[in-house]
Amino acid sequence: MLDEAGAIQATLNLIEAENLSSTSGPKAVEDATPLLCEGLVFTSSKGDELGKLKYLEVLREGKPGVRKPQLPFDKVWVQQKLAVVRGVIEWEGKTFRNLWVFEAADGRWCCVAWQVTAHPEAGYPKP
């Protein structure tokens, strides 16, 4: 569905794929691949930028812990062929703001950009 509900579900599916990677990297890659655009740019909370292939490699290797989204998400915008979802994720006792940008592709939402920012209370030093 190319609407707000579909964008929210695509976001939750990406989070679930990350969670799955801690126990089954290959299954996580299988689940995440159709949700990611070829031109994906994932920016980690530490500022590392990963393209789609590198991000999938990280999933295959396994990402520890369980990411828990604070629901409902803060904001969801849908404008024609673009959707933006803004939300907060708790992971390993820290809190992170996330921004997912999706574009419509073949009747589904495809993530083109994902940025993670350490929340001020996450315990990371401020720049």
- Domains identified in the chain, total number: 1
- CA distances to 2, 34, 75, 82 from 78, in Å: 9, 20, 10, 6
| CATH code at position 90 | 3.10.450.50
Q: Read off the pLDDT of residues 32-81 as tens digits, 9 standing for 90 and up.
A: 999 999 999 999 988 999 999 999 999 999 988 899 999 999 999 999 99
The reply to whether 65 falls in a domain is yes
Q: pLDDT, tens digit, for every residue of 88-123? A: 999 888 899 999 999 999 999 999 999 999 877 655
**Residue 82's domain spans which residues?**
4-121
Cβ–Cβ under 8 Å, residues 2 and 104: yes
Query: pTM here?
Result: 0.89
* Neighbouring residues of 116: CB distance < 8 A, sequence distance ≥ 6: 43, 44, 45, 89, 96, 97, 98
